[in-house]
Amino acid sequence: MESYEQMLDAAYKKIKVVQTSSERFEIPKVKGQVSGKNTFITNINEIASYIRRPVENLAKFLQKELAVSGVLEKDRLMLKTMLNSAKVNEKIELYVKEFVLCTECKKPDTEVISEKGVKFKHCLACGAKSPIRHNL
């Protein structure tokens, strides 16, 4: 029979250890330009990869929240209206709050899962699971 310490060591080897760091999660600011009546976001892929979400979902959310139509081209998003970067950054922060950050521990280590047609944020750091209110 194993001792308590041996069983405890075996259990610690099986669980995933979450690194605690003081590093702050900062979303990259929008880079782009306004050309005529269109706004081009040139770093949409960079933002999507940083928050680890599909660029299509982020683009769809921005179009819905800003109430504009748009086209996702190779490495940029074209929105068919003139917008300032502050408004777009605000909507990206809303997306991160709703779809990325854990509601319990506030860490960005989450994944979106779907159970019976309902989408949830599952936190890989603390194990919390919370429903996503927005529908994409």
Contact 115, 49 (CB under 8 A): no
CA distances from 26 to 38, 74, 93 (A): 27, 24, 10
- Report pLDDT digits (tens) over 71-114: 999 889 999 999 988 999 999 999 999 999 998 888 888 998 98
- Which of left, alpha, beta for 116 (phi over 0: left; psi -120 to 50: alpha)? left
Domain range summary for the chain, segments of one domain joined by +:
29-100, 102-136
CB of 102 closer than 8 Å to CB of 125: yes
24-49: pLDDT as tens digits: 678 899 999 999 999 999 999 999 99
Q: What was the pLDDT predicted at 23? A: 59
Domain at 29-100, CATH class: alpha beta
